[in-house]
């Protein structure tokens, strides 16, 4: 019984360590110099609109990293997943990135490959 509880403990506690995908997304955003200095980062899902809260929750359940910022009433939400097929083919990390507005509408979808030393290259669709 004790062993079973020990195995379940990590499942119940949310991880605070960034995932590989989260670190890659952070690297990409640094390369793109995002966000603007006037935007405040949202780190708690409860600070998002209900639609974006659901999107963040669904993203986390599906292994998709997310980052969001707000400036006054505007919210920008980035979701990113590691494209394993392309990453294996190119032998470099590849991210599929989706940008959403404050109501959860898709604004942009992009694919980026990590070139070297913090540089990223956008792949054409």
Divide the 125 residues of the chain into consecutive groups of 10 and give the mean pLDDT of each group.
Answer: 45 59 93 84 89 93 92 88 95 95 93 93 86
Measured CA angle at 30 (ends 29, 36), to 5 deg = 80
pLDDT at 73: 77
| Cβ–Cβ < 8 Å for 64, 81 | yes
| Rounded Cα distance, 54 and 51, in Å | 5
H-state helical runs in 1-123: 2-12, 20-31, 50-61, 84-90
- Which pLDDT score, from 0 to 100, does residue 16 have? 53
- Tally the residues of the chain: 125
| pLDDT computed for residue 34 by the predictor | 87
Question: What pLDDT sits at residue 43?
Answer: 84
What 3-state DSSP class applies to 43? coil
Q: What is the pLDDT of residue 36?
A: 75
**What's the CA angle centered on 110, arms 97 and 61, to 5 degrees?**
20
**pLDDT value at position 125?**
59
Tell me the CA distances in angstroms from 49 to 21, 36, 69, one per residue in order. Answer: 24, 21, 12
């Amino acid at each position: 019984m004790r062993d079973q509880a020990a195995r379940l403990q990590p499942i119940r506690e949310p991880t605070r360590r960034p995932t590989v995908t989260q670190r890659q997304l952070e690297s990409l955003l640094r390369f793109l110099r995002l966000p603007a200095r006037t935007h405040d980062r949202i780190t708690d899902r409860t600070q998002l609109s209900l639609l974006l809260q659901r999107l963040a929750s669904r993203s986390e359940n599906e292994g998709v990293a997310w980052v969001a910022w707000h400036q006054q009433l505007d919210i920008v939400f980035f979701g990113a997943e590691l494209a394993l097929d392309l990453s294996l083919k190119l032998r470099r990390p590849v991210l599929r990135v989706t940008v959403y507005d404050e109501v959860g509408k898709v604004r942009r979808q992009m694919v980026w490959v990590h070139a070297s030393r913090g540089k990223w290259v956008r792949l054409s669709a």
